[in-house]
Structure 1
């Protein structure tokens, strides 16, 4: 809902561009295998961590805005 509101204010393409900019700043950096072995990763939350995320993944938000065209 918030993305739709943002799109109505900034325009759909403006909102998509803003989310892509956030995505470029937020893209995970690959970590060494040793860190992954301890459950430390920079990727998408999964399992129990996914339950506590406050926003859908940026790629899903961008796809929803693009599909609404």
Structure 2
């Protein structure tokens, strides 16, 4: 069970999300499509960060060490 305070907070944040992106003017199906696209893009970005960012940091560290130590 979600505490009442947390439920209110999440409901308010979802309402702010709907108002900020004008989703409150869309039908339920259109909202689902927009939310699906938004969630899909977010998941793809997070997966790419998880997969590629550590290697990028290793490359940056190697370049920094190269320039630091000559």
Please say whether Structure 1 and Structure 2 have the same fold, judged by a TM-score greater than 0.5: no
Higher relative contact order (CA closer than 8 Å, sequence separation 6+): 1
TM-score (norm. length: structure 1):
0.32
Answer with 1 or 2: which has the greater Rg: 2
